[in-house]
Amino acid sequence: MYASIYSVYLADWLKVIPRDQVHVIKFEDHIQNEVESINSVFDFLEVPRFSESYLKHYLENHLVRNSLKPEFKIPHILPETRELLEKFFKPFLEDLVKLLGDDKWYWDMY
């Protein structure tokens, strides 16, 4: 679980790299719109974008296939487990929101 405490890692990076030189992408946003996500990186780096058609074609031909087989997927999370995870991660999520200055980094628990 420690690997999921992003605020700890980000705080370390921000000790040596100015905030305006760090671009963070929320995974959920990336998978919802990969083209927009990739273009946000190009814009941040101030490099030319590829055309939307090229990016879509590239992404379709380079799919990541790392999903679990249906028989290994967990259909849901127990309410007790969710509550424990929310309590554990809450202070770290609050730190992340403060570091990034945006409430979008909270889970749907807020």
**Taking the C-alpha atoms of 20, 21, 26 and 30 in order, what is their torsion angle to the nearest 10 degrees?**
120
Residue keyed to tokens 């090229």: 54
pTM: 0.75
What are the tens digits of pLDDT across the range 13-37?
A: 999 999 999 999 998 888 889 999 9
Ordered alpha helix ranges (H), 17-78:
27-32, 34-45, 52-61
Element (H, E) at 55: helix 52-61
Q: What is the pLDDT of residue 99?
A: 93
pLDDT of residue 110: 46
Greatest Cα pair distance in the chain: 48
CA dist 73 → 21, 39, 70 (Å): 37, 32, 5
pLDDT at 66: 54
User: How high is the pLDDT of residue 27?
Assistant: 86
- pLDDT tens, residue order, the chain (110 aa): 778 899 999 999 999 999 999 999 998 888 889 999 999 999 999 999 999 999 999 988 887 665 556 666 666 888 899 899 989 999 999 999 999 998 888 876 54
pLDDT computed for residue 36 by the predictor: 95
